[in-house]
Structure 1
Amino acid sequence: MAESVYLKLVGARLRGQMSYRTSFLLQCVAQAINQLAELAIILVLFNRVSALGGFSVAEVVLMYAIAGTAFGIADMVAGQLDELPTYIRTGTFDVLLLRPLGTLAQMMASDLHLRKVGRIVAGLVVLAYALSRNDIAWSAGTVALAVLAPVSGAVIFSSIWVTANAVCFWVVDGQELANTVTYGSNAFTSYPITVYGPWLRRFFAFVVPGAFVAYYPSLALLGRPDPLGGPALLGWISPLVAVAAAVVAGLVWRTAVRHYRGTGS
């Protein structure tokens, strides 16, 4: 029952966005350009240096492509959680509590940004290019990892989105803090974690499990040891980290909703 309601909500949103196809296409192109603009920044950096954090341009582009694709998927699925403070402040969240569907599913289906497909497609194109440019020992394991890494990264990013925005149940004006974690994680994962200082690396790599989005999977694909001394196993456990992150996010959301008392408006 709940699943059918969710699918109907998503279907309605998709049909609405597809009603203006030219506008939708232009928005997709704009999203793709934004994604490629971030790649241009990396390429500009390599005009000045031959390596970044001990990694070549092709290796950094691989990390960027995995992270960019994962973030695009998460942004399309969970990005509408950025509207949570408005829902809380206006009392609209109270309406969600009355419907026969979980509040998180309703929030995520409230305004599905299908135009983010442009960002995802651009990320996949760059990923295909990066995989072809790096010397990867292809096997069943590395093929599976190449496919699962962006998906696992998307789950991790979505979990970060849920957890960070749940803070708004306690601090209604906490959106800037949430954005620091969500969009900050995107910036962090686009580069090797070796370029960051120790405290930032520890926070975004393990407290916020950003290193498991692209850095560790890229090391496994490249067959490279971790310059920071981490075990090779870390490169293969992103799906497990994604599951753990999703469980934690679900628990945090449930706790936050139980804390919610409404605005009285």
Structure 2
Amino acid sequence: MIATNVRMYLLLVVTWMRAAAQYRGSLALLTAGSFVVNGLDIAAIWVIFAHTTRLGGFTLPEVMFLYGTAGVSFALADMLAGNTDKIGAYIKSGAFDTMLIRPVSPFVQLAADSFSPPRFGRLGQAVVVLGIALPQLGVPWSRAWMIPVMILCGLVIFIAIWTIAGAAQFLLVDAPEVANAFTYGGNQLTQYPFSVYGGELVRGVTFIVPLAFVNWQPGLYVLDHADPLGLPYALRFASPVAALIMALLATLAWRAGLRRYRSTGS
């Protein structure tokens, strides 16, 4: 079943990419525009460091590392499942009903629908930032193994949040901004060291919505930093556990939403 869903997802993505490739000039401009627009975030960080040497106790390369790892995870999640935040519009238009009668998972259809190649611009920008930061940090191999783990776990956590937020729209059809608050808002939050935020907020995104396990807790291990809040050291290795829990919750939320879905009749 999983292999079939993956194959169908790739087929749908390739179909949308072929359609987009018919307008090569527009595709190139949109991708470049996405790269530049997302680059404004890192430009803001550079402006901050033009007036200080540390942000929340972290140097510029360290902040770029946190930004890049979270950015790669978020960009991949956006490509794979970002379209789920539009489920409310599909429900109101009746398009979601069409997905339910096709012999393909409705989640796969929704995630792949209207796949936008310019999303690669966001991913490329995050990869560039991470590529610039890593050589300056000189992370030893004894800790570097955590980097791909945290990116993968961050990807799962972001997809899970997107899925849960999308599932909520089975009940809150007219509230896509609720989903954006946790997805795009979560991405903005993880771009900076959590040491610049209040302690209650950090605990909330550690034990309630586990955004701290995207790049903060594992990042403390990679960068060999002490936790400003003095949270247990073991949390630095808990990203896989957080990702697994979020994946299970997302699966349950999506299935519950489907069971309670009633057609709009449109």
Fold match by TM threshold 0.5: yes
User: 1:188 maps to what in 2?
Assistant: 189
- Shift, 1:107, TM fit: 0.6
- Shift, 1:165, TM fit: 1.9
Q: Which ranges of structure 2 fall in alignment gaps of 5 or more residues?
A: none
User: 1:107 maps to what in 2?
Assistant: 110
- CA distance in 2 between partners of 1:205 and 1:231 (Å): 12
Moved more, 158-167 or 42-51: 42-51
2:113 is the alignment partner of 1:120: no
After TM superposition, the structure 1 = structure 2 runs for residues 78-97 of structure 1, keeping only pairs within 5 Å, are 78-97=81-100
- CA distance in 2 between partners of 1:8 and 1:66 (Å): 28
- CA distance in 2 between partners of 1:219 and 1:117 (Å): 28
- CA distance in 2 between partners of 1:175 and 1:203 (Å): 22
Q: Is the 8 A contact 1:66 1:214 kept in 2?
A: yes
Compared with structure 1, are the counterparts of its residues 8 and 136 closer, same or farther at alpha carbon in structure 2 (3 Å cutoff)?
closer
Q: Is the 8 A contact 2:31 2:121 kept in 1?
A: yes
After TM superposition, the structure 1 = structure 2 runs for residues 170-185 of structure 1, keeping only pairs within 5 Å, are 170-185=171-186
User: 2:226 maps to what in 1?
Assistant: 225
- CA distance in 1 between partners of 2:150 and 2:20 (Å): 29
Q: Is the 8 A contact 1:77 1:113 kept in 2?
A: no
- CA distance in 2 between partners of 1:242 and 1:18 (Å): 35
User: 2:262 maps to what in 1?
Assistant: 261
- Shift, 1:205, TM fit: 2.9
Letter in 2 for 1:158: I
User: 1:243 maps to what in 2?
Assistant: 244
2:80 is the alignment partner of 1:53: no
Q: CA offsets per residue over residues 124-143 of structure 1, 9 Å max, x none?
A: 1111211111142223xx33
User: 1:216 maps to what in 2?
Assistant: 217
- CA distance in 2 between partners of 1:44 and 1:6 (Å): 40
| Correspondence for 1:69 among 69, 72, 90 | 72
SS at match of 1:136: coil
Moved more, 182-191 or 147-156: 147-156
User: 1:234 maps to what in 2?
Assistant: 235
- Shift, 1:251, TM fit: 0.9
After TM superposition, the structure 1 = structure 2 runs for residues 37-48 of structure 1, keeping only pairs within 5 Å, are 37-48=40-51
SS at match of 2:207: helix
- Shift, 1:113, TM fit: 2.1
Q: Is the 8 A contact 1:6 1:101 kept in 2?
A: no
Q: Is the 8 A contact 2:66 2:216 kept in 1?
A: yes
TM-align CA RMSD: 1.7
- CA distance in 2 between partners of 1:217 and 1:29 (Å): 31
Q: Which ranges of structure 1 fall in alignment gaps of 5 or more residues?
A: none
- Shift, 1:64, TM fit: 0.6
Q: Is the 8 A contact 1:32 1:122 kept in 2?
A: yes
Compared with structure 1, are the counterparts of its residues 155 and 113 closer, same or farther at alpha carbon in structure 2 (3 Å cutoff)?
farther
Q: Is the 8 A contact 1:35 1:119 kept in 2?
A: yes
- CA distance in 2 between partners of 1:229 and 1:136 (Å): 23
Q: Is the 8 A contact 2:85 2:165 kept in 1?
A: no
Instruction: Give % identity.
Output: 40
User: 1:164 maps to what in 2?
Assistant: 165
Letter in 2 for 1:29: A
- Shift, 1:60, TM fit: 1.2
| Correspondence for 2:26 among 23, 27, 43 | 23
Q: Is the 8 A contact 2:65 2:133 kept in 1?
A: yes
Moved more, 48-57 or 171-180: 48-57
- Total equivalences in the alignment: 263
